[in-house]
Amino acid sequence: QVQLVESGGGVVQAGGSLRLSCTASGHTFSSYNMGWFRQAPGKEREVAAVISRSGANTYYAGSVKGRFTISRDNAKNTMYLQMNSLKPEDTAVYYCAAGPSTWPLRVGAASYDYWGRGTQVTVSS
C-alpha cells in the first residue's frame, strides 16, 4: 500500500516556473513506476510525464516536452516535476501516481494504482 502527497502547486504568471513534489510513504517507493497526471476543468485526466522505478527512463507528453522535467530521489521517497515556461493551458489539478514497474512505460491513468489528492496549478495571463 502506497500513500502519496503532492505539494508545490500555486498561482504563477505565464512564463514562470513551479516545482511540484510528491512524497510517498514507506520504503517501497523504488519498486514503482511513477507519473504526473493533470486534469483541467471539463477535460479528461491526461499524462504529463512518467518515470521508471530507477529514474533511468522517462516519458513526456508532447504538450510539455522541453518545458517540464520529471525526476525522483528514491532515498527520499520523493518525485518531482519541474515546470518551466508555464502557459495558461497548463492550468490543471496535478496528480501524483504510482504503478507497477512495467516496460514499456505505461502512460494511461488506468495503469496506475495509487494516487495523491492533487495540487492546483494556475497559470495566469
Confidence band for 2, pLDDT divided at 50, 70 and 90:
confident
How many other CB atoms are found less than 10 A from the CB of residue 121?
Answer: 22
Whether the pLDDT of residue 26 is over 80: the answer is no
| pLDDT, position 73 | 96
- The pLDDT tens digits for 6-25 are 999 999 999 999 999 999 99
d(CA 3, CA 82): 21
